[in-house]
Structure 1
Amino acid sequence: MDVRFNLYPPCSRPDVVLGVKPHADGTIITLLLQDKQVEGLQFFKDDQWFRSPIVPEALLINVGDQAEILSNGKFKSPIHRVVINPDKERFSLAAFCIPESDKEIEPFESLVKESTPRLYKKVKDYSGIFFEYHYQQGRRPIEAAKI
């Protein structure tokens, strides 16, 4: 598990700056403790952005690409971003649940049937591929894992 403490300072031009660009997590799951007062996390659905409400003392659990692969597409890894507040700084704490890089992942065999064929290839070091190549180029690495 990797843990990251995030600080998003205020910016007078939030219309031209993002805290984190749109992406889906390359994890199995991500646990997020959001700021208690300042919003910033948004999810993309139906061609529009929706804000994630603040729920004090609650953990937000986000399904990542690796859970999508393991579940053969039953769980979907959502696209999300972080926007900047013009007046207040924002903090968050994220814990990323990731298998060891030498472990291969693939859909659970019990979820692969004639009626639900395998959607994803076997992949190794998904997080390495995610961070080093696809995220930097603005592409979804899950696309490379699809059959």
Structure 2
Amino acid sequence: MAGSPMELSLITEVILKAMAKSLNLEDNCFLEQMGERSTMFARFNLYPPCPRPDLVLGLKPHADGSAITFVLQDKEVEGLRFLKGNQWIRVPVIPQALLINIGDQAEIMSNGIFKSPVHRVVTNSERERISVAVFSSPDSDKEIEPIGRLVNDSRPRPYKKVKNYVDTYFQYNQQGKRPIDAVRY
């Protein structure tokens, strides 16, 4: 993984600018909503071997509450799955690769154009799995909302303005609900 939070901040900036360009928007429109005090936090995950992986998940289905999530997967043991339609798709291990995931806050800012995918982690019966996830989120004092130029008659605004989405995320996630649904009209 990149060597410091500063490097990940630069990667976040590059990704958010590229997302804006792909939608023919001003380069900094997503960055402006992130604010000057955007936050990053890391979670280190250890999934020990589980004799009954058919009965035990390593991490329940969820979508990330961040804007962008960086995941450094275990270099040998798979476990990450994305939900596509009604089917769980395995994510292959690519050694030395950094997986970049869109979170709920980028979905809100993009007016639903970029989707925050539901994913989970499965356990392995024979081997432990280790991963690191770094979550990049807007400043908790900044309000985020869909970018105005992305709202029109064919794509109406589905999300309210929201401040400190991470609090909403943890509240609804604990209840087993999809947090992004709490900020829909």
Gaps of 5+ in 2: 1-39
In 1, Cα distance between equivalents of 2:182 and 2:133: 25
Post-superposition Cα deviations, 1:50-84, rounded to whole Å, max 9, x if no partner, equal 10011110111110100000000000110000000
Post-superposition Cα deviations, 1:75-110, rounded to whole Å, max 9, x if no partner, equal 011000000001100000111001122111100112
Gaps of 5+ in 1: none
The counterpart of 2:63, out of the listed 24, 46, 57, is 24
The counterpart of 2:125, out of the listed 86, 90, 115, is 86
In 2, Cα distance between equivalents of 1:79 and 1:4: 18
Give the percent of matched residue pairs that are identical in Structure 1 and Structure 2.
64
Q: Tell me the secondary structure at the aligned position of residue 68 of structure 1.
A: helix
**Count of equivalent residues:** 146
The counterpart of 2:138, out of the listed 81, 89, 99, is 99
AA of the residue aligned to 2:179: P
In 2, Cα distance between equivalents of 1:19 and 1:92: 11
Instruction: Report if aligned partners of 1:101, 1:128 keep a CA contact under 8 Å in 2.
Output: no
Normalized against structure 1, the TM-score is what? 0.96
Question: 1:120 aligned to 2:159?
Answer: yes
Name the Cα RMSD after superposition: 0.9
- Give the structure 1 partner of residue 46 of structure 2: 7
Question: 1:139 aligned to 2:177?
Answer: yes
The one of the two structures with greater contact order (alpha-carbon pairs below 8 A, sep at least 6) is: 1
AA of the residue aligned to 1:114: D
Comparing both structures, which one devotes a greater share of its residues to strand?
Answer: 1
In 2, Cα distance between equivalents of 1:62 and 1:36: 18
Where do 4+ consecutive residues of structure 1 move more than 6 Å?
none
- Give the alignment of 1:68-79 within 5 angstroms: 68-79=107-118
Q: Tell me the secondary structure at the aligned position of residue 21 of structure 1.
A: strand
The counterpart of 1:52, out of the listed 86, 91, 115, is 91
AA of the residue aligned to 2:178: R
AA of the residue aligned to 2:121: V
Comparing both structures, which one devotes a greater share of its residues to helix?
Answer: 2
Q: Tell me the secondary structure at the aligned position of residue 138 of structure 1.
A: coil
